Structure 1
Amino acid sequence: MTPKEIALSAVRALDGKKGKEIAAIEIADLTTLADYFVIASGTSNTQINALCDAVEKELKEQGETPLRREGHREGTWVLLDYGSVAVHVFSQEAREFYDLERLWRDGKKLDLSGVLTAD
C-alpha cells in the first residue's frame, strides 16, 4: 500500500467507529518523520482504544501492521506508527493542548469529503 492509501484506510476505520474531527495532513515535504499524519478525537478512553483497534484491524486485513502503538498520558493520546503514516487519536483536551494541526499547518490537508460518511 502507498502511504496515502494507508492514511485513507485509517481515516475510513476511524470514521466507521465514530471518530471526531478526523483530519489527514501530508507532511512528506516538511519532515522525515512520516509522509502523513492522521488525527482524530475520541470521547473517552474506551472510545480512543476502540478507534485504535479499528485502525489496526482494518490495516492488518490489508497487510499493514504498526511498528509500534504508544499510549500517552493514561490513554488521552495514542499513537499508531506505521512508518510512513502516524495515526494520532486524542481526547478532546489533549488534542487542543498539543494542537498538531497548528504545528503542522504548512502541511497539505487532505480533502476527506469523499471518504468520510455524513453525520
Structure 2
Amino acid sequence: MEKTIETICKALASKKAVLIRALNVRGLTSIADDFVLATTRNKKQAQAAADEVEEKLGDLGIHALRVEGYREGDWILLDFGDVIVHIFTDEERRRYDFDTLWKEAPVEEYHETGDDDE
C-alpha cells in the first residue's frame, strides 16, 4: 500500500472508522487515482476522522485542496488531488454505495494490524 494511502488508513482507523477500503480508480475516472472509503458511527466521529487525516497528511506536507461536507458530517470528502477520501456515516455509505458504483476498481482492504511501534 502506498505510504500516503497507508497514512490515511491508519489515521481513519485510529479514530475507529471501519470498512476502510482503498480503491484504485486510475483509468476509471479522471478526478483522482485513488479513493479511500471509510465508515463511522456518527457525524462527530466522521469529523474527528477527517481532522486526523488532515493532521497526519499535514505532517507529511500534504494538504487538502478541498474539503466538502465537514459541517454536516454525513459524508465528508477530503480532496488531496491524486487521492480523495470519503468518510461516511453508515447510512450515507449505504445510500451512495460507492463499493458497488466503483466495483471495477481494484480494492485494498485496510485492517489494523496492531504490530507497529507507534
56, 59, 69: which one aligns with 2:57: 59
User: Are residues 63 and 77 of structure 1, via their aligned partners in 2, closer, same or farther at CA, if it must alter by over 3 Å?
Assistant: same
Q: Give 1:41 shift.
A: 0.8
Instruction: Judge conservation of contact 2:47–2:70 (CA < 8 Å) in 1.
Output: no
| SS of alignment partner, residue 44 of structure 2 | helix
Alignment of 1:27-106 (within 5 A): 27-71=25-69, 74-106=72-104
The superposition leaves residues 63-105 of structure 1 with CA deviations (integer Å, 9 ceiling, x where unpaired) of: 1000011007922000000010000000100000000010100
Say which is worse superposed, 103-112 or 50-59, in terms of deviation: 103-112
Choose which of 4, 12, 19 in structure 1 pairs with 2:2.
4
1:5 Cα deviation from its structure 2 partner: 2.4
Question: Does 2:113 correspond to 1:117?
Answer: yes
Whole-angstrom CA distance in 2 between matches of 1:105 and 1:96: 14
Asked whether the 8 Å contact 1:4–1:36 carries over to 2, the reply is: no
Q: Where does 1:17-32 land on structure 2 (aligned, <5 Å)?
A: 17-32=15-30
- Please provide the CA RMSD for this pair: 1.8
TM-score by length of 1: 0.88
Give the Å deviation of 1:111: 4.4
Conserved in 1, the CA contact under 8 Å of 2:20 and 2:109?
no
Percent of aligned pairs with the same residue? Answer: 38
* Aligned counterparts of 2:60 and 2:12: Cα–Cα separation in 1: 16
Distance 1:17 1:27, change over 3 A: same
- Hey, which bits of structure 1, 4+ residues long, moved more than 3 A? none
Unaligned runs of 5+ in 1: none
For normalisation by structure 2, the TM-score amounts to: 0.89
